[in-house]
């Protein structure tokens, strides 16, 4: 499949992305403008592969646009709150260090996941308001954004000019 460019206007801002993988059961897009360095993906797995709806149908076109728009919205939220996000991230790391002092067992493992879920699923995108959450695969990308900003003062999701 050849990559294809997608342009959408979201709240008056031009958003550009490119499809970098699209087959029957896999879809991957890269955001190019106004943010970059963000890849998002969808997969159809398990019993879903038996359904007639897949990424090579017109439904897949809608999925491409949805991924581009959701990626844009997530990075816009991050960019608008990067300092606050870094402060909450620091508190998360502090809490996880304290948790690590406890005896490691199933409960402390659940505590770790709940702390991380709160930051990445509830706090970051205020999921109850925006409907967006960070997937587990996005947590690493968000952590890279936070660390680059904290350590180097760089917003790695912005196009360099």
Count: domains in the chain: 2
Residue closest to 67 by CA, chosen among 124, 117, 24, 6: 6
Give CA angle at 23 (47, 38), nearest 5°: 100
Instruction: Give the span between the Cα atoms of 79 and 46, in whole angstroms.
Output: 36
Domain assignment present for 89: yes
Q: Which of 78, 93, 126 is the last residue of a domain?
A: 78
Q: Are residues 94 and 60 in the same domain?
A: no
Determine contact, residues 69/37, Cβ cutoff 8 Å: no
Inside any domain, residue 158: no
Average pLDDT, the chain: 88
pLDDT tier for residue 50 given thresholds of 50, 70 and 90? confident
The 10s digit of each residue's pLDDT in 92-110 is 999 988 888 888 888 888 8
Average pLDDT for 122-128: 74
**pLDDT for 94:** 92
Same domain, 98 and 144: yes
């Amino acid at each position: 499949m050849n990559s294809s460019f997608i342009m959408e206007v979201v709240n008056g801002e031009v958003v550009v992305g490119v499809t970098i993988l699209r087959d029957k059961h896999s879809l991957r897009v890269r955001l190019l403008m106004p943010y970059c360095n963000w890849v998002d993906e969808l997969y159809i797995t398990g019993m879903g592969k038996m359904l007639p709806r897949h990424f090579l149908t017109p439904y897949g076109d809608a999925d491409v646009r949805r991924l581009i728009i959701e990626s844009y919205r997530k990075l816009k939220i991050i960019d608008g709150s990067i300092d606050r996000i870094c402060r909450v991230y620091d508190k998360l790391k502090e809490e996880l260090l304290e948790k690590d002092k406890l005896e490691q067992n199933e409960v402390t493992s659940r505590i770790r996941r709940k702390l991380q879920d709160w930051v990445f699923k509830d706090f970051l995108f205020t999921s109850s308001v925006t409907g967006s959450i960070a997937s587990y695969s996005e947590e690493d990308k968000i952590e890279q954004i936070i660390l680059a900003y904290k350590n180097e003062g760089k917003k790695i999701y912005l196009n360099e000019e």
